Amino acid sequence: MNDIRFDGRVAIITGAGHGLGRSHAKLLASRGARVMVNDLGGSVDGTGSGSAAEDVAQEIRDAGGEALSHRANVTRADEVEDMVQQTVREWGKVDILVNNAGILRDKSFAKMSVEDFQAVVDVHLMGSMVCTKAVWELMREAGYGRIAMTSSSSGIYGNFGQSNYGAAKMGLVGFMNVLHLEGAKYNIRVNALAPVAATRMTENLMPQQALEMLTPEAVSAGLGYLVSEDAPSRVVLAAGAGGYAASKIYETDGIYLPPERQTPEDIAANFDAILDTSAQKEFQRGGEQGIKFLGKAAAALGVKLG
């Protein structure tokens, strides 16, 4: 197998001043990428600022790589646009975008303020949109792009006290699904990571022995493949402690009920059949669900569609 390299590629990585983002930046740079290291430099809850981005960029340069830094707030389109313009002025293009920036404001939903919910959604979901929008046309024109979202098991499966974070992270899966379809003909491939790693966000949640196994570098190995030349598209790659898996959404085949039986009572009576997974499928487009249901109805009613 050939080594995966990024010689001549230009990458922007958000939230790259610490943890996973720092590990992603160092990996891509070590394999030849020119990296724009983005980080506002704030604390885990998004407050404050600092020199984290430049510190990582200097690490990369000290190791013989090429890197710049920018402290753009990913929720502010003008700051993100300035970051992209600086990247293009220096290196002529943007090939790779890793949407990694994020904050935490964990509380049970009953105790969570609207402001804390909004702040987390703004950084994770809207920040990823703002950064992607800023490079999307460049990638379309170039006929090449690799974009990685950062999702989470907290969104895909749920996690107590993280309604804001979970909503944002599952929203990124939907965002990925649509951009995969819209970017395909321009050779833009869009994937997502669902990582488990020892970072500032998890250091108080797990025992030390577990944290020692959950290295950011193990997750970055998966990221490196997701943004490579031969990357897949529309994959949610779960990664942690050297384990790698794909998280997928399936839909059961379900049932058909004639009009006179389309009642809450009949749905309750047939719920086991609705939940039966024996013929479930992974759809590639939202319209496939409607086609399935219309096909069942047409077959039951003896109607020929089209």
- Tens of pLDDT, residue by residue over 60-77, are 999 999 999 999 999 999
Measured distance CA(147)–CA(131) in Å, rounded:
10
Q: Please identify which of the residues 165, 225, 244, 256 carries the catalytic annotation.
A: 165
Which tokens belong to 281?
Answer: 């499928």
**pLDDT per residue rounded down to tens, the chain (306 residues):** 899 999 999 999 999 999 999 999 999 999 999 999 999 987 776 665 679 999 999 999 999 999 999 999 999 999 999 999 999 999 999 999 999 999 999 999 999 999 999 999 999 999 999 999 999 999 999 999 999 999 999 999 999 999 999 999 999 999 999 999 999 999 999 999 999 987 665 666 666 777 788 999 999 999 999 999 999 999 999 999 999 999 999 999 999 999 999 999 999 999 999 999 999 999 999 999 999 999 999 999 999 987
Measured distance CA(178)–CA(167) in Å, rounded:
17
pLDDT digits (tens, 9 = 90+) for 79-111: 999 999 999 999 999 999 999 999 999 999 999
Strand partners, 35: 11, 67
Q: Where in the chain is the domain with CATH 3.40.50.720?
A: 10-246
Three-class secondary structure of residue 70 per DSSP: strand
Return the percentage of the chain with pLDDT > 90, whole number. 89
Measured distance CA(33)–CA(229) in Å, rounded:
12
Measured distance CA(97)–CA(44) in Å, rounded:
22
For residue 186, indicate whether it is catalytic.
no
pLDDT digits (tens, 9 = 90+) for 118-150: 999 999 999 999 999 999 999 999 999 999 999
10-246 has which CATH code? Answer: 3.40.50.720
Burial class from Cβ neighbours inside 10 Å (0-12, 13-18, 19+) for residue 44 reads middle
b or e along 89-103 (b: 16 or more beta carbons within 10 Å of the residue's beta carbon)?
eebebbbbbbbbbbb
